[in-house]
Amino acid sequence: MPRSSGAGTRQTQALWRSVARDLRERFGWSLSAQSLYRRSGVVPPPDGREGPRRWWWAATIDDWAAQVELHWCEVCRHAFITSGGLKEHWTRVHEG
């Protein structure tokens, strides 16, 4: 029976695999943005592959997200690697 709180849950969650779709959903990235970030080394290298699919341990992504300064859009909750990216997004999407 899975635990619902405490250290056991955190350890279990750290073992969850995150795939590319999970990163896009968590950070609000488009497929092209995520691909660019991966190719340019912004996101950590995958922890493994299952066929053509790359995956990361949830802890890998959590640790990475805690170490980098992400710039979040307060309106639509998209994360940007640079403040310039956030500014461009804001101008294009929210100021029309």
Digitized pLDDT (tens) for each residue of the chain, 96 residues in all: 343 444 554 555 557 899 999 999 999 999 999 999 999 999 999 999 999 999 999 999 999 999 999 999 999 999 999 999 999 999 999 986
Instruction: Indicate whether 19 belongs to any domain.
Output: yes
**Residue 50 backbone phi and psi in degrees, to 5:** -125, 100
Q: CATH number of the domain that 67 lies in?
A: 1.10.1660
The helix (run of H) or strand (run of E) holding residue 51 is none
Instruction: Indicate whether 3 belongs to any domain.
Output: no
Instruction: Please give the pLDDT value at position 7.
Output: 52
Q: What is the pTM of this model?
A: 0.77
Instruction: Please give the pLDDT value at position 50.
Output: 94
Q: What total number of domains does the chain contain? A: 1
Angle formed at CA 34 by CA 31 and CA 35, multiple of 5 degrees: 85
Instruction: Indicate whether 12 belongs to any domain.
Output: yes
Instruction: Please give the pLDDT value at position 13.
Output: 52
CA pair distance 28, 44, nearest whole angstrom: 17
Domain residues for the domain of 85 are 8-94
Instruction: Indicate whether 1 belongs to any domain.
Output: no
